[in-house]
Amino acid sequence: MRIVLLGPPGAGKGTQSSRLAQVLRVPHLSTGDILRAAIREATPLGLKAKAAVDSGALVEDEIINGCVGERLAKRDAEGGFILDGFPRTVDQATMLDTYLRHTGDEVDVAFELVVGLDHLQQRVVKRAREAMAGGEAVRSDDNEIALQKRVVAYLQHAASLSDFYRQQGKLVQVDGLAEINAVTSSLTDHIASTMPRHPPFA
């Protein structure tokens, strides 16, 4: 099962992706997590991506596409994956389709978590507070200025990206403001009803 999660920053893509990955027993691949780890470890990828990530801008397609291609080539992603934070642009979505076509695969569903912009700041502030309370590092881009830039980057591409998957008949929009377990149920119910032979539903 190959799933992509779309939605603005703070919509809950990370939480829902990780829940789906557990249920479906496929890896959760978050491009944001991959980039943050690369930055922490100061790898060549991290050094190239750091300025864009810290400021809230998108990392260049060439860099991110290469990094996703490498990750998808790993054995654990052969049977499926949940992609969180990728694709963010139509060019990235096209690259993903081209990549998957080589192995005769395709994206099965694109879930979009729909959350109004007026809720995002509140959610990101909450995430930063929870990280601090739990003794974790606060994301370098969970601040007001970077968030604004992330929202602008999202808005630039969101409609065309949704259209891309709508035209393929793969877009499923879910109310991202619903209670967290209700969102997960909407996603798993959709998968169970459209792909009933996929474990664990079979």
Q: Which residues bind ligand AMP (CB under 6 A)?
A: 9, 31-32, 35, 52-53, 56-59, 64, 85-86, 88, 92, 141, 150
- Residue 158 C-beta: closest distance to ligand AMP, Å: 13
Residue number with CB closer to ligand AMP (97 or 195): 97
- Residue 198 C-beta: closest distance to ligand AMP, Å: 25
In the chain, the amino acid numbered 151 is V
- Which amino acids are annotated catalytic? 13, 88, 127, 139, 150
CB atoms within 10 A of CB 149: 16
Alpha helix stretches (DSSP H) within the chain: 13-24, 31-40, 44-55, 61-72, 90-101, 120-133, 144-167, 180-194
Cα–Cα distance for residue pair 6/87, rounded to 1 Å: 8
Q: What is the largest CA-CA distance in the chain?
A: 46
Closest residue to ligand AMP using C-beta atoms: 32
């809230």: which residue's tokens?
A: 56
- Residue 122 C-beta: closest distance to ligand AMP, Å: 16
Residue number with CB closer to ligand AMP (57 or 172): 57
- Answer whether 166's CB lies under 8 Å from 93's CB: no
Computed from CA positions of residues 27, 30, 36, 39, in that sequence, does the dihedral angle turn out positive or negative?
Answer: positive
Q: Within 13 A of 198's CA, how many CA atoms are on the CB side?
A: 19
Residue number with CB closer to ligand AMP (119 or 198): 119
Cα–Cα distance for residue pair 62/65, rounded to 1 Å: 5
- Residue 94 C-beta: closest distance to ligand AMP, Å: 13
Closest CA to 111 of 43, 11, 10: 11
Residue number with CB closer to ligand AMP (52 or 171): 52
Residue number with CB closer to ligand AMP (120 or 171): 120
- Residue 36 C-beta: closest distance to ligand AMP, Å: 7
Phi, psi (deg, nearest 5) at residue 162: -60, -45
